[in-house]
Structure 1
Amino acid sequence: MAKKELTKEQEQIARIAKALGHPIRVAILQMLASQTCCYHGDMSEILPVAKSTLSQHLNELKDAGLIQGEINLPSVKYCINKENWALAQKLLGGFINEVAASQGCCD
């Protein structure tokens, strides 16, 4: 039996999961989701993280396509990327439902 290749969907789910895999990045997304428009200001004044570390987390979220914007320290301008967030919601939701519906053999 030949090995299966990973699907594009599997790779996308893993990329999103990696971006969500740190509590600071989850907090950033929650902060941005609570804004009516793009966030302007210094997130490091609100979040318990140094500016340089914050920049790395913002870049990880941006690289995953979950947020959009720019860093001009000391201020940032960021928003949730609604189109990519909708895709992430669809991919993760489908994955979670697929696993939950499986007939596990470990019962």
Structure 2
Amino acid sequence: MSPTAPEWITSFLRSVDAGQHETAFGVFADDAVLHFGSTTVQGLPAIKKFMADLGTPREVEHRIRQAWQVDGDHIVRGVAGVPAGGRLDDADGLAFVQIFSVGPDGRVTRQRVVFGPPAA
């Protein structure tokens, strides 16, 4: 993961990859909103259920390639996929952009997840 992304984001993605939703979403506000592609999910309990219904845990890995902070938003761009032989090849992954909006208390109030075409 990128050293320029805040540690809480890299920890969040590692926890999501491991299917540890209680740990992953510990940085989210109770009334957080998740935009996952064209789906919008409101409230932390509903977000955790949505992620569980996706079928996680599964062998997926997120790799951050770039990270920015703009005001209260943290933006990460990277690739996600199933590692072949223990290593994720960018060419085999799916490109993503995630935007985390953070409130004054430091908790995530909104996450936007957009997946693109394969990264190759």
Q: Point out the structure with the larger helix share.
A: 1
What's the TM-score, normalizing by structure 2?
0.27
TM-score, with length taken from structure 1: 0.29
Asked which structure has the greater CA Rg, the reply is: 1
Greater share of strand residues, 1 or 2?
2
